[in-house]
Amino acid sequence: MNTSPPSNNTSTPQPHSIVTPMGTRRKFFKLVTGLSSVFIGMSLTVPLIGYVISPALKRRQATWMPVGKVKDLPVNEPKDLDYAVTIQDGYLETRQTKAVWTLKHQDGTVTVFSPICPHLGCGYRWDSQERKFRCPCHGSVYDIHGKVLGGPAPRPLDVLPSKIENGELLVIYKEFKSGLSTQVEL
């Protein structure tokens, strides 16, 4: 008589026959751990790099600067004004003396021109006899409103942002690329 237990082909596999995807699981956890480390590292490093280099990447920043009292400007007669300006260039803060040409109108408003000729960057002058701006370098001529009358200038005189507060004329100093027909700020 056979007393041995009946054979069962569908019985639970013995431990030695279990195939576990341990290698795959280990690789998976390694990968997740590695990716997490990279992610955490990047999340800490990127803001730090941004903090360190962002001032250097920022555009040159200039602020509103007072250039003079509006009441002191002659009406319909261009006047050049010098003033000190603080320029923030990355980490570097410099104080420079700049000049602008101003034109006060009958209604009390003021137009402020960059003092740089848009042709190739020379300084121009106001010819009070002929009532024209003239650039000595290559002969560009502009009318009192900055419109080109002659010479190689590719565009009118550059107008700078300006406003009047408590009788004071405030200007943001900007520079533009020379030789272009359109204004491109530096």
Site for ligand FES, rule CB under 6 A: 117, 119-122, 135, 137-140, 151-153
Q: Minimum Å distance from CB 76 to ligand FES? A: 24
Separation between Cα atoms, residue 141 and residue 58, nearest integer Å: 35
Closer Cβ to ligand FES, 64 or 174, answer by number: 174
Separation between Cα atoms, residue 31 and residue 74, nearest integer Å: 75
Closer Cβ to ligand FES, 90 or 152, answer by number: 152
Q: Minimum Å distance from CB 123 to ligand FES? A: 9
Closer Cβ to ligand FES, 104 or 119, answer by number: 119
Q: Is the dihedral of CA 139, 129, 162, 81 positive or negative?
A: positive
Q: Minimum Å distance from CB 134 to ligand FES? A: 9
